[in-house]
Copies of this chain bind each other. A is one copy, B any other.
Amino acid sequence: MPELRKDPFVSNRWIIFSPERKQRPVEFSSTDKEKGKEPFDVFSWGKENLTPHEVFALRPKGGLKDSPGWSVRVVPNKYPALRIEGDLQAEGIGIFDRMNGIGAHEVIIENPNPDIELEDQTVEGIAGVLQAYRERILDLQQDIRFRYILIFKNKGRLAGATLKHPHSQLIALPIVPREIKEKIEQARRHFGIKERGLFADVLREELRSGERVIMENSFFAAFCPWASRFPFESWIMPKFSSLDFSTLDDNQIMLLSDILQNLLRRLKKGLQNPDYNMVLQTAPLRNSRQDYMTAVEVDFRWHIEILPRISYLAGFELGSEFFINPVFPEEAADFLRQIRKI
């Protein structure tokens, strides 16, 4: 059974121990032995019976559950990091802390064609994927055991992908992750000093200077953040106050899809189809939000981070939580701005 363990040395750092993940078809390995050996694609039309039953799908022309004809399909992960069944039980083992590995782990199949990556889809297609993100958050947040939902995408082997068919993943957690807690705490400190929102202040500064902005539309801005950890790291942030991704309406999602498509295509063209991670950092779920966000004085804002994986994380980064980045974000943004014909 999976288990959550708390790091005794680093506050808010938790580890999911997930022994079932060892039995995945693609085993972890230090070598590139299995490269090119692509497992049988279970994420296309007609293979619906090879995945767990779907929990959401978009079917433009209608159709039965678990049948072909879908444009986006969400299924539980066959090799979940956490288990949906059971009660949350937290306990101490001597000095250490553990919890049952309760959570949800789902796969968002972005389209039925294994060769069409997210950035290759139409703006309507990407909007469908973003709608699936929203609908899954809205559904899962009803489960009071969960405090946070992280949605992410691993593209390419260096980004940790084991299956080629374009997909995103969702993990619902009984704990708010360290990085999110930290950002909320930092926003609270900022408000304490300035009486202004941190996310709003940073975005205002980015838009005023423009040095790190890649593009913007009426609702959203894409920029390379001041303290980018990775070369060409790019964020998309709403220009309006928006705590929770799941509150977006369809019009906002269309404009988000448009800027996301544009940004991903620039990265693809400029960096020759790089491996990347994409992460959606939204607010903690409603039922745990009061613990972290006493209303107005925390201006947390959901945002999407795209982390190209064109360099390796080494001992320095893993041993210090310091990062070395050879590319200034001003230079990265300038490069991405200038790409024509995306």
Query: A-side interface residues toward B, CB under 8 Å?
Result: 3, 5-22, 28-30, 32, 81, 94-96, 150, 152-154, 156-161, 169, 171, 173, 175, 177-180, 182-183, 185-187, 189, 198, 201-202, 205, 208-209, 226-229, 231, 271-275, 277-281, 305, 307-328, 331
Contacts and interface: CB of A to CB of B under 8 A. Distances in A.
B315 A153 contact: yes
A318 B156 CA distance: 15
A310 B28 contact: yes
A180 B322 CA distance: 10
A164 to B, nearest CB: 15
A27 to B, nearest CB: 9
11 contacts: A10-B182, A11-B186, A17-B327, A28-B310, A28-B312, A30-B158, A154-B314, A160-B313, A160-B315, A179-B321, A280-B319
Given A11-B182, A312-B159, A326 B21 contact: yes
Give the number of copies in the complex.
2
B28 A326 contact: yes
**A interface SS class:** mixed
Nearest to A202: B8
A323 B30 contact: no
A338 B17 CA distance: 22
Nearest to A316: B152
A305 B205 CA distance: 39
A2 to B, nearest CB: 9
Contact of A150 (B150, B169, B271, B319): B319
Q: Which of A13, A198, A229: most chain B CB closer than 10 A?
A: A13
Nearest to A199: B9
Contacts of A9: 182-183, 186-187, 198, 202
Contact of A226 (B8, B183, B198, B328): B8
B278 A322 contact: no
Given A32-B32, A328-B19, A322 B178 contact: yes
A263 B256 CA distance: 50
